[in-house]
Amino acid sequence: MKIFYAVQATGNGHISRAMELLPYFQRYGEVDIFLSGANNSLQLDAAVKYRSRGLSLFYTNSGGLNYWEIARQVAPMRVWKEVRDLPVERYDLVINDFESITSLACLFKKVPSVNFGHQASFISPKVPRPEHKDRMGEWILRNYARATQYVGLHFKQYDDFILPPVIKREILQAEPQDIGHITVYLSSYSDAQVRKYLQPLQEFRFQVFSREVKKPTSDGNILFLPVSKLAFNKSLITCTAILTGAGFETPAEALYLGKKLMVIPIRGQYEQFCNAAALQKMGVPVLKALDANFAAFFRPWMERKRKPCLHLDYSTEAIVSYLMHHCHREKQGSLDMLYPDAIFN
């Protein structure tokens, strides 16, 4: 079997998941990877056959999306050329982890595909949403990477096509410890912003994973560390608690390890507000921003004993087996029904 695997490279979560899934996909055949995106800190430890700048998200230094930079990176002629040239029709199975160019190429060439990953779960109305839904956010979740089949991943099985998170082997096999630090990963905040609100909490030690530093840098009660898979795993496994964005992979790993977890959704990123709504239902505290009120929330949270946990019912091998046995190519005739408002004719 020839498998086309499209990986969204905005942020680090998709790449982290891809590195875990790839060996299992390779048991079923030859896998060619399409890496799309221009804003990540981790490298994909595998041969990449196709690359694209894709349609990426960029962040400000104060917890939000940088809409100007996102718009500046859009290049319609480049995107159209990549859609036209991407050879998805040569493959027996197209697996798409929330990547828009692959989705458009499959739509243009009428090739079936499966949207596999966390974002696929939002096709279901049963998945938690924030109190105030965002119409544009909902549209993006449903249309950014449209497919003919969906297999979602989420904290709980909110619907029959949703499976548990894919947890890295290093986390699954770890013996959690508590050596007293708080792990911090807030990719949309600058080091200066993080320092401003964490440094006054002198009774706590923080390990902050940063986009800015090239080597470990101590600053009072804060150790700034460059983003690396090995260092982050070690910090997470040995921390007392973790403060991070409301993404999917890192909160799932923290819950699996039984760590205290607090999240701050990235402003303007609707998916994170949906995740925050799900985490809040599980008992995880959610903050609107890293600001002057942070210390008043942080200290009481650190004194709490109760910690929400995540229990897995599936192994990674079982998740891939489910995907492979339920997502075979469909007849071309079904595509017109699944894409009734196709933009290409």
What pLDDT score was predicted for residue 337? 37
Task: Indicate whether 57 pLDDT > 80.
Answer: no
* Model confidence band, residue 342 (pLDDT cutoffs 50, 70, 90): very low
φ/ψ of residue 142, rounded to 5: -90, -25
Query: For the chain, what is the mean pLDDT?
Result: 87
pLDDT of 277 > 70? The answer is yes
Q: How sure is the predictor about 9, in pLDDT bands with cuts at 50, 70 and 90?
A: confident
- pLDDT confidence of residue 119: 94
Higher pLDDT, 14 or 272: 272
* Residue 185: predicted pLDDT: 96
pTM of the model: 0.86
> Measured between alpha carbons, how far is 343 from 345 in angstroms, rounded to an integer?
7
C-beta of residue 3 within 8 angstroms of C-beta of residue 32: yes
Residue 15 has what pLDDT?
Answer: 86
> Looking at residue 345, what is its pLDDT?
31
How far apart are alpha carbons 123 and 146 in whole angstroms?
Answer: 10
Phi, psi of 102 (to 5 degrees): -60, -45
Tell me how crowded residue 322 is: count the other CB atoms within 10 A of its CB: 14
| CB atoms near residue 139 (< 10 Å) | 11
pLDDT at site 243: 98
Alpha carbons 102 and 34: distance in angstroms, whole number: 9
Q: Which domains does the chain have, with CATH numbers?
A: 2-166+315-338 (3.40.50), 169-303 (3.40.50.2000)
Burial of 68 (0-12, 13-18, 19+ CB in 10 A): exposed
pLDDT higher than 50, residue 188? yes
Tokens of 131: 């109190």
Q: Are 94 and 112 in contact (CB under 8 A)?
A: yes
Taking the CB of residue 192, how many other CB atoms lie within 10 A of it? 10
Closest by CA to 119, choosing from 231, 221, 17, 244, is 17
> What's the gap between Cα 168 and its chain centre?
13
How many other CB atoms are there within 10 angstroms of residue 174's CB atom?
Answer: 18
Alpha-helical segments (H) within the chain: 13-25, 67-73, 76-85, 100-109, 135-143, 169-172, 191-198, 229-238, 249-257, 270-281, 294-303, 316-326, 335-338
- The pLDDT tens digits of the residues spanning 112-157 come to 999 999 999 999 999 999 999 888 889 889 998 999 999 999 999 9
Position 299 scores a pLDDT of 95
Could you tell me the pLDDT band of residue 5, with boundaries at 50, 70 and 90?
Answer: very high
Of residues 196 and 338, more confidently modeled: 196
Cβ 38 vs Cβ 53: under 8 Å = yes
Is residue 310 very low, low, confident or very high in pLDDT (cuts 50, 70, 90)? confident
Neighbouring C-beta atoms of residue 292, cutoff 10 Å: 9
| pLDDT the model gives residue 326 | 78
Least confident of 106-120, 208-222, 319-333: 319-333
**Confidence tier at 38 by pLDDT (50, 70, 90):** low
